[in-house]
Chain A
């Protein structure tokens, strides 16, 4: 019998209800027992932690009939008729144990690029920061002193997209001249040969997940010429070419289950088997270009074996043998994915989002409408509970990741929102817009937490470091702000 806290001694005039704790998958925890209707989330947390019998108490959020219990059970049930005979299901959701504090100020403005900064990315452990720009260089920045580290020259046109390998040891960058370079962040030098083969510019780069191959050998690139190439970075040559799209491929994502997803301007999303490059499925439904895609397991695939809860003030490289890293990455992936297959959400120029289960079905699960202009980026929160979509109609909409229902609109920007990034604990969201400001939103209260002005011109790229300490943003004014 769980130890019932003292202040739950029955009051004669307070109504009591039978409740049953259930987790998100629907499995029940313990047996039903009765509590006064005025119970608060803190007391519910004590009871639930006691039932879970974990070593350390985990912060939990409680939901009844899809409404979160904020003040007390009574207030949440205020509008609904409560049947005292039936057992009430209370769903508990473990929150991230660590809390990321909101970024509040600009610690530095890093100059160095001579043209607009168009892509910014933190390495999976948060140790390095790389930025690609219109001046054809990729710059690495030292985070502890916030000064420039290396300048990687080699591209001959704008560096459109950059991607870190999941072990943080390599950076791939693609340019408008359809070339891909690989760089070593520790020295700033080029690794291997230039990968060329595409005929038009590179729109997206994506590495193979760590838990499939801990050596981080294969890289997928999407290009305007409509093809996707899988490159073998060790040998420096193209392994497979996947052609089927008739127009530019806007985004490619390497899923954790051995499938590759690609979205294109020809209004389709294609699912390929990464083993042999065979087309499995074509997902149709959008009415205009598909701009962006997000997988529910995106964040965990990006961070690989690095656990944000174990982050230290000075980010370190991941240590351990390849087998250990692979094991750790596999564990984290399984935890986030749960029992269901991966979910894919796609945002398009037709102002709607579609949610798919690409491994199973080629019909969409849901069409999410509401935006009034094209959608530029969609992202699942790291705990996969919320989907955020940034659009050119100056708003960001939040949707529930499981039930696909619309949650809220975050308004505040005065012009198009270009990019968004989640903090590692899924509590905060930062958005960069063409009105030159960044805004930090609280996902719990669904309100603006902090406004970050300071850029002189549009903010093209935003990223939150996986250890939660910093946000980097770059834009048309050629400087990078931390």
Chain B
């Protein structure tokens, strides 16, 4: 009968202890501004071994050559049409020097060269402005990868040393891959999502 009477009343649930146990010295402090940055290392190693990359933007529209490269006419009569200018955002490395202008086939304008990307950590939901280390793969064409063209869906490598990540072996991680999620040539900035 007692149980029948109690059926509608709410009892304090004192069985479950909350998760996220912290020691006494951390109790009065707000939860860390970084949430758990080290996700499961073993799973990641297994994924890397299998060669499978789970990317947040799996399918992108392939960009044709006429869209990415603009024909530049040169010569006295402006008849020669072997030079191309890149119309999308690109990344050139630190020690980049142009080839002699008479011989360079692909022109990458300085105004379209970017060094930093706004990278979002998918679990922390925090965005950091990190320097780009290189372009790993452009889904449209391997030619664009070698040129360093960054379009939507490109996988780039970014310098994450300021995040303070550490591997299980005790080494500090300084480079990670991220995938670009916007069209940088339209927005003027590169937004990417970190691949953890």
Contact = CB atoms under 8 A, between A and B. Distances in A.
A470 to B, nearest CB: 20
A133 B21 contact: yes
Q: Is the interface of A mostly helix, strand, loop or mixed?
A: loop
Contacts of B38: 436, 456-457
Given A156-B14, A265-B28, A456-B38, A134 B21 contact: yes
A116 B21 contact: yes
B17 A156 contact: yes
Interface of B: 14, 17, 19-28, 32, 36, 38, 40-41, 164, 166-172
Contacts of B166: 414, 435-437, 453
Contact of B164 (A203, A291, A435): A435
16 contacts: A118-B22, A134-B17, A134-B22, A135-B21, A202-B24, A248-B28, A250-B24, A289-B28, A414-B166, A434-B32, A435-B166, A451-B170, A453-B168, A455-B168, A456-B41, A456-B168
Given A414-B166, A414-B172, A291 B25 contact: yes
Contact of B170 (A250, A291, A453): A453
A291 B25 CA distance: 8
A292 B36 CA distance: 26
Contacts of A224: 27-28
A204 interface: yes
Interface of A: 115-116, 118-119, 133-136, 156-158, 160-161, 201-204, 224, 248, 250, 265, 289, 291-292, 376-377, 414-415, 418, 434-437, 451-457, 460-461, 476
Contacts of B23: 118-119, 160, 418, 460-461
Contact of B21 (A118, A376, A436, A456): A118
Contact of A203 (B17, B24, B167): B24
Given A115-B19, A135-B17, A415 B164 contact: yes
A116 B22 CA distance: 7
Contacts of B20: 116, 134
A157 B25 CA distance: 16
B176 to A, nearest CB: 15
Contact of A204 (B24, B41, B170): B24
A455 B41 CA distance: 11
Nearest to A416: B32
B21 A454 contact: no
Given A115-B19, A158-B17, A435-B166, A418 B25 contact: yes
Contact of B27 (A136, A201, A377, A418): A201
Nearest to A435: B166
